[in-house]
Amino acid sequence: MAPAAPAPQLPPHPAATSPAPVPTVQPTGPVAFVPGLPGQPAGATAAEPPPGTPPASTPPPPAHDAGTPAAWPDSLVTGPVPMPEEAEEPSRRAAPDRSSLVCLGLVLASLVLLELGLGLRFGSESFWSDIPLWSAFATACTVLGLAASASLLPGGRRIGAGTAWRIAAGGLVGLAAFWVLVVLPVVASDRGFLLTAALACLGGALWTGPARRS
């Protein structure tokens, strides 16, 4: 028996339309831009790492200089705010130099010698008992010589070098006047020796003091 012949294909009907294509699901890619993130420029794309890749470690925040203000959120720190170096360290007084120490030592030696010459009797009445006003005047003039080393005294740094020198020089002039009017007649005695040495020490203090060179 012979095989049957295939049926002939009929032409399409004139009123028939071709079927519409079935829509397919398109795969979505990585998110290109998420609005609202600070520091991300407009139009920037964030590439998503392929599956299976471990997340990259977050880099540490950049260290900022202590002198520049920190950006948000680095400025939201807790605890005491670090102060500048000038405010942390207390004000330190400069170490006294050798000339200031020598000047102060000479003034103190002058004051001690003066009081010995005024207070000791030396076979007669002391100057404090015999001439108390002159003795007080000589003592005050010697105390003024401390201004030559004002940098070593409490609050002495507020006095200018020129002002300190004029104060100490005035004390020296007053002590020299006391020596001429009171001590010169008895300069050959032991009392005269002590009072003359006091005048010499005060003059040496002003000569070697730092206020004279300023």
Sorted by where each begins, the domain ranges of the chain are 98-213
In this model, does residue 143 exceed pLDDT 90?
yes
What's the Cα-to-Cα distance from 9 to each of 5, 6, 12, 13, rounded to whole Å?
12, 9, 9, 12
In this model, does residue 53 exceed pLDDT 90?
no
Tokens of 120: 């000791």
Q: For residue 143, which of 102, 116, 174 has the smallest C-alpha distance?
A: 174
The predicted model scores a pTM of 0.54
Residue 212: CB atoms within 10 A of its CB come to: 17
- How long is the chain? 214
More confident residue, 72 or 123: 123
Burial track 67-84 (b if 16+ CB lie within 10 A, e otherwise): eeeeeeeeeeeeeeeeee
Report the C-alpha gap between 125 and 180 in whole angstroms: 20
Confidence of residue 162 (pLDDT cuts 50, 70, 90): confident
Confidence of residue 148 (pLDDT cuts 50, 70, 90): confident
In this model, does residue 88 exceed pLDDT 50?
no
For 127-142, what is the mean pLDDT?
96
Residue 133: predicted pLDDT = 97
